[in-house]
A = this chain, B = another copy of it.
Amino acid sequence: MSTNPTMKEIAKELGTSVSTVSRALQNHPRIGLRMKERVKELALKLNYVPNSTAIHLKKKRNYNIGIVLPYLTEQFFSLAITGIEDILFEKGYRALVVQSRNDYEREKQSITSLIQHGVDGIIVSVASETYNYSHFNELNSHGIPIVFFDRVVKILPNSCVYGDIAIGAFEAVEYLISQGMTKIALLNGPSTLIASDERLTGYIKALKKHDAQININYIKSVDLSKEDTIRKTHELLNLEEPPQAVLAFHDYVALDSMQICRERGFAINKDIFFVSFSNLSFCSYLEQPPIASVEQFPYEMGEKAAKILIKAIEHPADYIRQEIIIKSKLVIR
């Protein structure tokens, strides 16, 4: 209904100038006490809200941060956002959230849209289908700081925050071996993700350390769709020697895979054991949850990423690329 009051109106009402109003509101030392009070009082009375668009135009700052990640519906990411948001909120920033749905094109479009919007910075967890990083280079050429988290790309000059997946995988496999299992499969994610590499690295390292045999048939890569998980699980179970344990890319893969196992008559935590990444809260509701989980602390990752980004925005001069590794933790049930 009523349009927002502006400085101009305050100035007119007070018979002064816009610049004086502006300075009064900012507590500028050169404005008289009396005038300051009159301005502030009227501003309050009129319910004056500074127009942040105009401020942005002037100051080239938005206090908006873009967040691009695959799916909000994955608890890992919604927890990460919560961590990010807590820091942003505290520092007066707002979050523009976009889901890429693991789709490269959509990710690219979102980035373009965020550039156009003029965000002060961006936090990204890259889509699994992203094979090309030119859109990130575009951000760099626009001078917009980026921080990658979880699904990072290390070859770019931007900071990243991620879990020590390889160590997590290593510990998980070692744990399974300590429980007497040797036939351990890896239901890994797509090879485009560094996180998949790291899981593989840790997996192999643990097997080697304990002189367990590495069976290429036990290593599968899924595209993170339910269908593919189902398919690959069947492949594993159809082997002459089905695995005794499965290290899954994350809990969603584990859950889908476990379901197939049950359907095919394999008793979870008896005939076949699961370990997965990112310990979702709802796993605790399962009667037969994965025997262990590598907790990755998404909330902390988000916090860390946001802090780094804000520092990069507010003190661009002292920017140095950082690689923060969040220690993961094997949670045994």
Q: Contacts of A2 on B, CB cut-off 8 Å?
A: 141-143
The reply to whether A72 and B82 contact each other, CB–CB distance below 8 Å, is yes
Which residues of chain A (1-29) have a CB below 8 Å from chain B? 1-4
Q: Contacts of A142 on B, CB cut-off 8 Å?
A: 2, 4, 49
Known A53-B56, A72-B81, A116-B49; judge A285-B287 contact (CB<8 A).
no
Could you list 22 A-B pairs, sorted by A, with CB under 8 Å? Answer: A1-B143, A4-B142, A47-B141, A49-B112, A49-B116, A49-B142, A50-B116, A51-B57, A51-B118, A53-B56, A53-B118, A54-B57, A57-B57, A64-B117, A72-B81, A89-B98, A94-B98, A97-B97, A255-B285, A282-B282, A286-B286, A286-B287
A299 nearest in chain B by CB position: B73
> Which A residues lie at the B interface, using CB under 8 A?
1-4, 47, 49-54, 56-57, 62-64, 72-73, 75, 78-79, 81-82, 85, 89, 94-99, 112-118, 138, 140-143, 255, 258-259, 282, 284-288
The reply to whether A85 and B99 contact each other, CB–CB distance below 8 Å, is yes
Copies in the complex: 2
Q: Contacts of A94 on B, CB cut-off 8 Å?
A: 96, 98, 113-114, 117
Q: Contacts of A64 on B, CB cut-off 8 Å?
A: 96, 117
Known A4-B142, A50-B116; judge A259-B285 contact (CB<8 A).
yes
* Minimal beta-carbon separation of A140 from chain B (angstroms): 7
The reply to whether B285 and A286 contact each other, CB–CB distance below 8 Å, is yes
Partner of A143, one of B3, B114, B115: B3
Question: A287-B287, A287-B288 are known contacts; what are 5 more A-B pairs with Cβ within 8 Å?
Answer: A2-B141, A49-B115, A53-B118, A94-B114, A259-B284
* Minimal beta-carbon separation of A269 from chain B (angstroms): 12
Q: Contacts of A285 on B, CB cut-off 8 Å?
A: 255, 258-259, 282, 286
The reply to whether A140 and B1 contact each other, CB–CB distance below 8 Å, is yes
Q: CA A143 – CA B1 in complex, angstroms?
A: 5
Q: Contacts of A72 on B, CB cut-off 8 Å?
A: 72, 78, 81-82
Q: Contacts of A95 on B, CB cut-off 8 Å?
A: 96-98
